[in-house]
């Protein structure tokens, strides 16, 4: 998957968080998957998105993986 496609999908997740905060669990899981794709492809994981995923994990009280 091209890097630009991943960035676009992540941008959509962020918009969803803004407009549908009741779906934060889904957002957190989707963001985790997208970051895993970046890592698997050897692409850099944007620091702000890594921090967002960590903050969602903390806020949603999901144990670390």
Written as one string, the DSSP assignment of 6-56 is HHHHHHHHHHHHHH-GGGHHHHHHHHHHHHHHHHHTTPPPPHHHHHHHHHH
Task: Give the domain range for residue 25.
Answer: 3-59
Q: How far apart are the first and last CA of the chain?
A: 24
Residues 58, 62, 64, 65, CA torsion sign: negative
**pLDDT tens column, 1-41:** 566 777 787 777 777 777 776 777 887 888 888 889 889 98
Give the chain's domain count: 1
Write down the pTM of the prediction: 0.64
CB distance 10 to 31 below 8 Å: yes
What is the DSSP-derived secondary structure letter of residue 63? Answer: P
**pLDDT tens column, 30-62:** 888 888 988 998 988 888 888 888 888 888 775
């Amino acid at each position: 998957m091209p890097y630009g496609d991943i960035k676009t999908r992540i941008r959509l997740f962020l918009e969803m968080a803004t407009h549908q905060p009741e779906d934060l669990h889904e957002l957190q899981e989707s963001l985790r998957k997208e970051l895993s794709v970046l890592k698997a492809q050897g692409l850099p994981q944007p620091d702000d998105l890594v921090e967002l995923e960590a903050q969602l994990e903390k806020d949603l009280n999901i144990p670390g993986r």
